[in-house]
Structure formats: C-alpha cells, structure tokens
C-alpha cells in the first residue's frame, strides 16, 4: 500500500493490475476519492510513476459521469477541465463495472468493495495473441493476393504461367519474359 499513498479518509474500492493508460500498462486503482494509475519502472519494478485523478473532477451530466465505453474495452472519462483520459481494459465487462462503480461514488451510493475479476496476465497474453494472429493474417492475405497469370511465350508461342509481375522462363525455348 506504500505506493498508493492513500489519505487517512481514503480506501481502495477496485484494483486492476493490467490497464493501459497513455501507452503504458500498469495498475488502476479506484478509491472513494481518486482514480490512480501506477506504472512500475526499473529493473526490479520498485520505482513507480503515479497519475492521480480526483473523482470529484469528473464531469457530470444528468447525475451520471460523462464517460464512454469504447468497443475495444476502453473507458474514456471526461473531466471538468475539458480533458479526456482513456483507460484500456482487456475485458469490456470490466470497464463497464468500473464505470458503474465511479457513478455510484459520484452519486453517493454505497459501492461494494471487490477484487479485480480479471486473471493476472491475461492482458499480456491476449495482446501477444492478437499480434500473432495479425501477423498470420498479413502473411496469408499477401499470398492470396498474389495472382497467377498465364500467357503465351513471345518467342515460340507456348503457354507460360506464373505469378503476375515475375520473370518466367519458357520450358520449350528457354526465353525469359515478364508476366
């Protein structure tokens, strides 16, 4: 708890260890007073970069926090200063749960204190798998887009075929030509 530096009247309500904010992955902590994003740095992960946002500074519209749940599981929160802060959760339902909890705090409702419902490490695994799948898609897409064309040899008139744009050698007269 040393890295949070909580005030005497502050308590942790939610915690998720894998939330990306500002291009950096770290812990996101919701307290009754603040939203805190903590990134561990250094070889031994003992140095912390802490960004703290007051819950009371979140813009309210019709007694609801002005926030949007993105299709990729992002939670975009708008503050009274006109700034927007985006927090990327791996699990879409997790960001909706956080938004609900923030709304309850702002309206003054009782919020149930819970642990994160995401298994640690899933964000990194999912991001790695997505990158791998995207790589495979790119490789296979290129192969599918390669066109096989057929034409006649300019020297002997025999049929030649191959990939469009490649130089192919006629099997009868050994002349090279571009398809």
- Domain-wise residue ranges, the chain: 12-134, 146-178
The residue assigned the tokens 């927090």 is: 87
pLDDT at 108 (0 to 100) = 80
The predicted-structure confidence for 40-76, as pLDDT tens digits, reads as follows 887 877 778 899 999 999 999 888 888 888 777 789 9
Q: What is the CATH number of domain 12-134?
A: 2.30.29.30
* Residue 114: per-residue pLDDT: 52
Mean pLDDT of 78-88: 94
* H or E element, residue 78: strand 74-78
pLDDT value, residue 42: 78
User: Which pLDDT band, with edges at 50, 70 and 90, does 117 fall under?
Assistant: low
pLDDT band of 1, cuts 50, 70, 90: very low
What's the pLDDT band for 31 if we cut at 50, 70, 90?
A: very high
pLDDT at residue 143 in the model: 55
Q: For 48-57, how does the pLDDT look when each residue is reduced to its tens digit (9 = 90+)? A: 889 999 999 9
User: How much of the chain, in percent, has pLDDT values that exceed 70?
Assistant: 82
Cα–Cα distance for residue pair 170/160, rounded to 1 Å: 6
pLDDT of res. 164: 79
Q: Is 14 helix (H, G, I), strand (E, B) or coil?
A: strand
- Average pLDDT, integer, range 116-126: 56
With residue 79 as reference, give the H or E element that holds it: none
What is the spatial distance between Cα 118 and Cα 91, in angstroms, rounded to a whole number? 7
Is pLDDT at 120 greater than 70 in this prediction? no
39 within 8 A of 26, measured Cβ to Cβ: yes
Beta-carbon contacts of 166 under 8 Å, excluding residues fewer than 6 positions away, are 178, 179
> Where residue 149 falls among pLDDT bands split at 50, 70, 90?
confident
């Amino acid at each position: 708890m040393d890295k949070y530096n909580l005030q005497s009247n502050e308590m942790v309500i939610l915690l998720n260890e894998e939330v990306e904010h500002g291009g950096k992955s770290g812990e996101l902590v919701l307290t009754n007073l603040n939203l805190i994003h903590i990134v561990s740095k250094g070889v031994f992960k003992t140095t912390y970069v802490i960004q703290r946002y007051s819950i009371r500074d979140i813009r309210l519209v019709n007694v609801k926090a002005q926030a949007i749940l993105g299709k990729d599981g992002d939670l975009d929160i708008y503050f009274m200063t006109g700034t927007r802060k985006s927090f990327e959760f791996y699990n879409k339902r997790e960001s909706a749960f956080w938004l609900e909890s923030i709304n309850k705090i702002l309206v003054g409702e009782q919020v149930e204190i819970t642990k994160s419902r995401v298994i640690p490490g899933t964000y990194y695994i999912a991001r790695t798998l997505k990158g791998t799948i995207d790589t495979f898609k790119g490789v296979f897409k290129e192969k599918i887009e390669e066109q096989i064309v057929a034409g006649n040899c300019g020297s002997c008139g025999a049929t030649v075929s191959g990939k469009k744009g490649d130089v192919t050698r006629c099997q009868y007269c050994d002349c090279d030509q571009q398809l």
